[in-house]
Amino acid sequence: MVNPTQIKIAFIGGGNMASAMLSGLIHNGLEPKNLLAIDPSASARDLLITKYQITTQADLRSSKSFLHSASLIVLSIKPQQMQEALNELRTVLQEFSDCQPLILSIVAGVRLGDIEKYVGNARIVRAMPNTPALIQKGVTGLFRGKSVNEADVQLIEVVNHAVGHFVWVDQEELLDVVTALSGSGPAYVFSMIENLIESACSLGLTYDQAKLLATQTVIGAGELAHQSLESPSILREKVTSKGGTTFAALEILREKQWGQSLQSAVIAAAKRAKELGDEFSQK
């Protein structure tokens, strides 16, 4: 088993998702001295130092010593920054003739083959986390390259367990579906909560009352669906009495084709995730 206290991890990029992973890792016993964040933004570095007391650097070349001994390098940057970062990483890694570090990419759309093409490294895992990782309630989709061994898998699972749940997929293109479902999914839920609150306020509740009722309903229903052996459709039927209030509400949603619209939204997001990968591959 991997001992979390002995892992050294370098994050290339210090944004929200990197911060979420750092928070979870420290909460699970990883010492701040074993964590490094590389980000050109001084404000981002200062924030990470203040929150987590970790080491930060402005560029990869200044981080060579840590990178050489790192258990894992996490790519946590925006897709448009990926090409420049990978070129810099390749230059640094070429100086490490004695090791081939494990790389975890949480960059949406960029495929394993393209990362390998730039850095010359086949020990790569792609991940698609989501923003509830900020409170260690996230869920992450994972896909591994062919050169990733079982020890690597254990390390990746320890890291991702620190921010919530995870699921492995056996085809890389399925990460586009994960991106559309759970990666973008919080935005769908936030939109639903937003509209639940607005409708309740229009009927007389205060904002605070409506927010509490809406958010706790989503939390409770989600946990019930997670724990129950029954399908969501059966759970929905149990709440719905013909002619009752829930029935009246669901009839409106059916008339507006709410379910089909949501499915179309997920399909559109998956298509866009694939397009992002295609666009990067053509660079």
pLDDT of residue 165: 96
Q: Is residue 278 part of a domain?
A: no
Q: 26 and 134: one domain?
A: yes
Q: Which CATH number belongs to the domain containing residue 219 in this structure?
A: 1.10.3730.10
Give the whole-angstrom CA distance, residue 67 versus residue 236.
50
Q: 62 and 18: one domain?
A: yes
- Along the 283 residues of the chain, how does pLDDT read in single tens digits? 666 667 899 999 999 889 989 998 998 889 999 999 999 999 999 999 999 999 999 999 888 889 888 999 999 998 888 989 999 998 888 887 667 789 999 998 899 999 998 888 779 999 999 999 989 999 999 999 999 999 999 999 999 998 999 999 999 999 999 999 999 999 999 999 999 999 999 999 999 999 999 999 999 999 999 999 999 999 999 999 999 999 999 999 999 999 999 999 999 999 999 998 898 888 7
3-state secondary structure of 142: strand
Q: 99 and 212: one domain?
A: no
pLDDT of residue 6: 76
pLDDT of residue 109: 85
Q: 173 and 189: one domain?
A: no
Virtual CA dihedral for 150, 154, 159, 162, nearest 10 degrees?
150
The closest alpha carbon to 25, from 13, 38, 9, belongs to: 9
pLDDT of residue 174: 97
Instruction: Say if residues 51 and 20 touch (Cβ distance below 8 Å).
Output: no
Give the whole-angstrom CA distance, residue 270 versus residue 276.
10
Give the whole-angstrom CA distance, residue 40 versus residue 14.
9
- Terminal alpha carbon distance of the chain: 40
Q: Show which of 145, 177, 209 is a domain's final residue.
A: 177
Residue-range definition of the domain harbouring residue 120: 4-177
Q: Is residue 144 part of a domain?
A: yes
pLDDT of residue 2: 67
The pTM of this model reads: 0.91
Per-state percent for the chain, helix, strand, coil, to nearest 5: 60, 15, 25
Q: 202 and 172: one domain?
A: no
pLDDT of residue 49: 96
- What letter would DSSP give residue 229? S
The closest alpha carbon to 73, from 45, 96, 109, 101, belongs to: 101
Q: Is residue 283 part of a domain?
A: no
pLDDT of residue 1: 65
pLDDT of residue 33: 94
pLDDT of residue 5: 66
